[in-house]
């Protein structure tokens, strides 16, 4: 049954991630669509999601989406591959019809998969992602639906998100794990010419990855792809655009401490921000 307590008035666009990674998507979205209002929600108290089970990722993601709905968002972007892989479909198919069929939740995997097909010449793609995203098999399945004869080789990188969340990603210790995962991926398939960063945290180590791979291999980072896809979506759905307020504002919410969020978020956004604490539920 529809949640009657939710307002039907236009509201900000909600951007959700388990932690800071979604800020890499938010930054590009705001560059393309600066006129809208945004609320960013980072579930930093429970990050990382990438090593958690399907049920837990689904439960946590739904709680965050509901929170954004209660704050007036009519449209929410899951700026997290793990949540997109493990929770998006259930939320779209089972929860939205109950909560409010007119609201929308979008993910980051589909736009990335749409874009990547034209980028590979060898038809061999590598995926670097969290264990959750890799185990879900979402990328190979979505690629097979849209593109013929593309071979996807996946490498789970369980330590990258914790290293980035703890601001240790530029340390010598991080080099070891980044090199190990990138080498393992290329050893499995030497024909890879395109590597997808299937985690919104990974743009922060993109330069390190670039330094480890041969010049002919290109890296696909999701920020711009997702931002352009949202521009396209809002053009094709003027009724959704009309439900998103346009005041150019941004609020940052975190389930962790505001000081911690503000200081780490500045690494992602390269600017000082103010955050608000939120308790879910
Ligand atoms: N940024 C999230 C993603 O894109 C990180 C997931 C996590 O919390 O491990 O998958």
pLDDT in tens, the chain (281 residues): 467 788 899 999 999 999 999 999 999 999 999 999 999 999 999 999 999 999 999 999 999 999 999 999 999 999 999 999 999 999 999 999 999 999 999 999 999 999 999 999 999 999 999 999 999 999 999 999 999 999 999 999 999 999 998 889 999 999 999 999 999 999 999 999 999 999 999 999 999 999 999 999 999 989 999 999 999 999 999 999 999 999 999 999 999 999 999 988 988 888 889 999 999 96
One of 3.30.460.80, 3.40.50.720, 3.40.50.1860, 3.20.20.100 is the CATH number of 110-222, namely: 3.40.50.1860
Which listed residue (64, 73, 157, 199) is catalytic? 199
Answer whether 13-107+224-277 and 110-222 agree in fold: yes
Handedness of CA 130, 132, 135, 140 (dihedral sign): negative
Q: Determine the distance separating the centroid of ligand 1 and the alpha carbon of 173, expressed in angstroms.
A: 20
Instruction: With H, G, I as helix, E, B as strand and everything else as coil, classify residue 127.
Output: strand
The pLDDT of residue 239: 97
The pLDDT of residue 269: 87
Of 21, 67, 66, 278, residue with least CA distance to 161: 21
The pLDDT of residue 2: 63
Q: Determine the distance separating the centroid of ligand 1 and the alpha carbon of 5, expressed in angstroms.
A: 31
Ligand 1, CB within 6 Å, residue ranges: 17-19, 21, 47-50, 80-82, 130, 133, 161, 199-201
**Rounded distance between C-alpha atoms, residue 273 and residue 265, angstroms:** 7
| 73 noted as active-site residue | no
- pTM of the predicted structure, to 2 decimals: 0.94
Instruction: With H, G, I as helix, E, B as strand and everything else as coil, classify residue 209.
Output: helix
Q: How many CB atoms lie within 10 A of CB 172?
A: 7
The pLDDT of residue 281: 67
Residue ranges of domains in the chain: 13-107+224-277, 110-222
**Mutation to probe ligand 1, out of 15, 58, 128, 130 (largest number of atoms < 8 A from CB):** 130
The pLDDT of residue 220: 93
The pLDDT of residue 271: 85
Does domain 13-107+224-277 sit in CATH 3.40.50.1860? yes
* The residue to which tokens 């590597």 are assigned: 195
Which helix (H) or strand (E) segment holds residue 236: the answer is: helix 222-236
Q: Determine the distance separating the centroid of ligand 1 and the alpha carbon of 83, expressed in angstroms.
A: 7
The pLDDT of residue 3: 72
Count the helices and strands in the chain (H runs, E runs): 14, 10
Atom from ligand 1 closest to the CA of residue 21: 1
All residues at 6 or more sequence positions from 187 whose CB lies less than 8 Å from its CB, including other chains: none
Phi and psi (nearest 5°) for 221?
-105, 145
Q: Determine the distance separating the centroid of ligand 1 and the alpha carbon of 81, expressed in angstroms.
A: 6
């Amino acid at each position: 049954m529809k949640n009657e307590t939710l307002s039907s008035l236009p509201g900000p666009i909600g951007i959700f991630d388990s932690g800071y990674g979604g800020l890499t998507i938010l930054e590009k979205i705001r560059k393309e669509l600066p006129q809208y209002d945004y609320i960013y929600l980072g579930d930093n108290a429970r990050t990382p999601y990438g090593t958690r089970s399907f049920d837990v990722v689904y439960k946590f993601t739904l709680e965050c989406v509901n929170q954004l709905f209660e704050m007036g968002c009519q449209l929410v972007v899951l700026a997290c591959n793990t949540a997109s892989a493990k929770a998006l479909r259930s939320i779209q198919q089972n929860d939205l019809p109950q909560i409010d069929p007119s609201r929308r939740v979008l993910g980051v995997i589909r736009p990335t998969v749409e874009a990547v097909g034209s980028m590979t010449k060898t038809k061999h793609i590598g995926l670097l992602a969290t264990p959750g995203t890799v185990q879900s098999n979402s990328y190979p399945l979505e690629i097979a639906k849209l593109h013929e004869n593309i071979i996807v080789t996946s490498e789970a990188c369980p330590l990258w998100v914790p290293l980035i969340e703890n601001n240790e990603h530029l340390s010598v210790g991080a080099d070891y794990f980044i090199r190990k995962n990138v080498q393992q991926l290329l050893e499995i398939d030497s024909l890879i010419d395109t590597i997808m960063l299937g985690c919104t945290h990974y743009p922060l180590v993109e330069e390190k990855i670039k330094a480890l791979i041969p010049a002919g291999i290109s890296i696909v980072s999701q920020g711009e792809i997702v931002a352009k896809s949202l521009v396209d979506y809002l053009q094709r759905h003027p009724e959704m655009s009309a439900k998103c307020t346009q005041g150019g504002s941004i609020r940052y919410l975190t389930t962790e401490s505001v000081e911690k969020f503000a200081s780490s978020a500045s690494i992602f956004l390269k600017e000082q921000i103010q955050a608000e604490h939120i308790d879910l539920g």
